């Protein structure tokens, strides 16, 4: 037993750390989007006279800590230290959840191999293409799954809620997305919905209170920034709004937005945005929506075919099992519909795509292993 305990500790802690360090040393780690670079420059004071302590929409509270850290020790990459530490903790928690799920069904060597394979196909990209979006989603999801697997225990629940809160501080919408995406796996890992209820209710109430409080305390300047951010997202990211300039100034503004030049408020402003852009539902759903969907589907198959293959194999296994499995197929339908809505209506970049696939795969795995016979029982019967 002591030897087995030490091996489990190695699988949960040492193995993920070795894989993480090997990935960074061998492949490197790069920012996936310019947002991370811009935020780093703001917090470190590269693009300002001093470190910026408050950034609307992002890193609520955490930005003050980062700005103070950069002011005290500007030579330390504090954003990378913070996000890397949080993603490392999330990776360890995911390994812990998987190890607990698979331990009764696999021998030690097989378990180590499966965990290494899971890292290679499902987690390595989070370290290679680094993004605060990935960190927030994976952290919140890993903490919630860790807590759900240990229902009734106060310390794991605290870990789950703290991870969700940290993701909310980075960006509230990411915490809400992680909560919804992990809900099927949370219910399955808890064993019964009543055992998961304290965690689910606490997380939902916490998100509602935090979001409501932030909305009440929002300043007019922050509200204007949020409105501008939503408008730019609908134009540049979601491709929902089409330009329809009415004046020369409108044409200048739409040309500036196409080039991502949005700093001059005399050229790009709320009145110009409301006047120069419109939503054509017929055009969007007839042309833009299917074009975005087909493009994202092709990239999804190209980039994540091992995970899609694993999901397909799991679906076949469940299909061949006797009995009704309505809950499983409802989850498949829910994730598929969610991917379609994100890809066609909004946006589904890899930094959102892979974490959602991670949670989908873990939910299916939890369903397959529910009620499965431990390997010790199987070997006794074979013997």
More confident residue, 371 or 77: 77
pLDDT for 112: 94
- 126 in Cβ contact with 28 (< 8 Å): no
Query: CA–CA distance from 72 to each of 38, 46, 51, 53, 67 (Å)?
Result: 20, 15, 10, 13, 9
- Between CA 139 and CA 362, with CA 174 as vertex, the angle to 5 degrees is 50
Do 310 and 355 lie in one domain? The reply is yes
Q: Are strands 277-278 and 242-243 parallel, antiparallel or unpaired?
A: antiparallel
Return the structure tokens found at 113. Answer: 């191999």
Q: Which residue has the higher pLDDT, 19 or 262?
A: 19
> What integer pLDDT is reported at residue 374 of this predicted model?
63
pLDDT at 343 exceeding the cut of 90: yes
Query: What would the mean pLDDT of 351-380 be, rounded to a whole number?
Result: 81
The neighbour count for residue 244, using CB atoms within 10 Å, is 12
How would you write 197-224 as a 3-class SS string?
A: HHHHHHHHHHHHHHHHHHHHCCCHHHHH
Residue 214 lies in a domain: no
In a domain, 251, yes or no: yes
pLDDT tops 60 at residue 378: no
**Who's near 92: CB < 8 A, 6+ residues apart?**
12, 13, 16, 17
What is the distance in angstroms between the CA of the first residue and the CA of the last residue of the chain?
A: 23
73-94 average pLDDT score: 96
Question: Quick check: 182 pLDDT over 50?
Answer: yes
Phi, psi for residue 127 in degrees, rounded to 5: -90, -35
Write down which residue in 282, 307, 326 finishes a domain: 282
> Per DSSP, what are the bridge partners of residue 277?
243
Domain annotation covers residue 337:
yes
Could you tell me if residue 312 is inside a domain? Answer: yes
In a domain, 319, yes or no: yes
- Looking at the fold, whether 252 and 299 belong to one and the same domain comes out as no
CA 378, chain centre distance (Å): 37
Residues 294 and 348 in one domain: yes
The proportion of the chain whose per-residue pLDDT surpasses 90, expressed as a percent, equals 79
pLDDT tens for each residue of 195-207: 999 999 999 999 9
Same domain, 334 and 256: no
User: Average pLDDT for residues 368-381, to the nearest whole number?
Assistant: 58
Which of 260, 282, 304 terminates a domain? The answer is: 282
Full residue range of the structural domain in which residue 298 is found: 286-372
Q: Name the DSSP letter for residue 14.
A: I
What's the pLDDT score for residue 372? 61
Examine residue 108 and state whether it is found in any structural domain, yes or no. no
Residue-wise pLDDT for 95-119, tens only, equals 999 999 999 999 989 999 999 999 9
User: Are 273 and 308 contained in the same domain?
Assistant: no
Establish if 298 belongs to a structural domain: yes
- What is residue 11's three-state secondary structure? helix
Give the residue from 93, 11, 5, 115 showing the smallest Cα distance to 365. Answer: 115
Is the model's pLDDT at 5 over the cut of 60?
no
Number of domains in the chain: 2
pLDDT confidence tier of residue 6, bands split at 50, 70 and 90? low
* pLDDT tens per residue, range 240-276: 999 999 998 889 999 999 998 888 888 888 888 889 9
Whether pLDDT at 221 is above 90: no
Average pLDDT, the chain: 92
Residue 105 exposed, middle or buried by CB count within 10 Å (0-12, 13-18, 19+) = middle
Distance, in Å, from the CA atom of 132 to the CA atom of 174, rounded to the nearest integer, reads: 10
Whether residue 33 is contained in a domain is answered as: no
User: pLDDT, tens digit, for every residue of 290-299?
Assistant: 999 999 999 9
The residue that leads in pLDDT, 378 or 345, is 345
298 and 334 housed in the same domain: yes
Inform me whether the pLDDT recorded for 377 exceeds 50: no
Q: Has residue 381 got a pLDDT over 70? A: no
**Cβ neighbours, 10 Å, residue 23:** 19
Q: Are residues 272 and 309 in the same domain?
A: no
**Per-residue pLDDT at 179 exceeds 70:** yes
| Mean pLDDT value of segment 229-244 | 93
Tell me how far apart the alpha carbons of residues 89 and 92 are, in angstroms, rounded to a whole number. 5
Q: How far apart are CA 231 and CA 215, in angstroms?
A: 18
Three-class DSSP category at 225: helix
pLDDT over threshold 50, residue 356: yes
Q: Could you tell me where the DSSP H helices lie in the chain?
A: 2-9, 15-26, 34-44, 62-72, 78-102, 108-118, 124-128, 132-148, 154-170, 172-190, 193-216, 220-232, 248-258, 270-276, 281-283, 289-320, 326-344, 350-369, 375-382
Average pLDDT rounded to a whole number, residues 372-383 = 46
Q: Look at residue 317 and tell me whether its pLDDT is greater than 70.
A: yes
Q: What was the pLDDT predicted at 380?
A: 42
Tell me the pLDDT band of 383, cut-offs 50, 70 and 90.
very low
End position of a domain, from candidates 282, 302, 319? 282
């Amino acid at each position: 037993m002591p030897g087995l305990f030490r091996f489990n500790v190695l699988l949960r802690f040492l193995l993920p750390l070795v894989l993480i360090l090997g990935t960074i040393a061998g492949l490197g780690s790069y920012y996936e989007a310019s947002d991370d670079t811009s935020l780093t420059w703001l917090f470190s004071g590269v693009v300002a006279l001093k470190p910026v302590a408050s950034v609307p929409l992002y890193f609520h509270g955490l930005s003050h800590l980062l700005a103070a850290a950069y002011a005290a020790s500007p030579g330390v990459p504090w954003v990378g230290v913070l996000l890397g530490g949080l993603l490392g903790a999330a990776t360890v928690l995911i390994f812990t959840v998987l190890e607990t799920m698979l331990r009764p069904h696999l021998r030690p060597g097989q378990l180590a191999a499966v965990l290494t394979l899971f890292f290679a196909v499902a987690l390595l990209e989070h370290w290679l293409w680094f993004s605060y979006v990935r960190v927030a989603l994976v952290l919140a999801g890993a903490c919630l799954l860790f807590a759900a697997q240990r229902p009734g225990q106060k310390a794991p629940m605290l870990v789950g809620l703290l991870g969700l809160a940290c993701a909310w501080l980075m960006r509230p919408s990411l915490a809400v997305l992680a909560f919804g995406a992990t809900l099927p796996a949370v219910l399955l890992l808890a064993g019964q919905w009543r055992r998961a209820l304290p965690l689910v209710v606490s997380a939902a109430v916490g998100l509602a209170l935090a979001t409501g409080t932030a909305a009440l305390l929002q300043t007019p300047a922050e509200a204007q920034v949020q409105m501008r951010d939503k408008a730019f997202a609908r134009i540049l990211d979601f491709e929902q709004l089409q330009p329809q300039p009415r004046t020369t100034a409108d044409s200048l503004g739409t040309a500036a937005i196409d080039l991502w030049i949005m700093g001059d408020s005399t050229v790009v402003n709320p009145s110009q945005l409301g006047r120069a852009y419109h939503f054509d539902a017929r055009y969007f759903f007839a042309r833009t929506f299917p074009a975005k969907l087909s493009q994202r589907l092709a990239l999804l198959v190209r980039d994540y075919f091992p995970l899609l293959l694993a999901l397909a194999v799991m679906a076949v296994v469940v299909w061949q099992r006797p009995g009704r499995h309505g809950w499983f197929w409802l989850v498949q339908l829910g994730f598929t519909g969610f991917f379609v809505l994100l890809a066609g209506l909004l946006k589904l970049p890899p930094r959102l795509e892979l974490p959602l696939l991670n949670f989908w795969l873990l939910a299916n795995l939890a369903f397959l292993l529910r009620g499965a016979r431990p390997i010790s029982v199987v070997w006794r019967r074979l013997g």
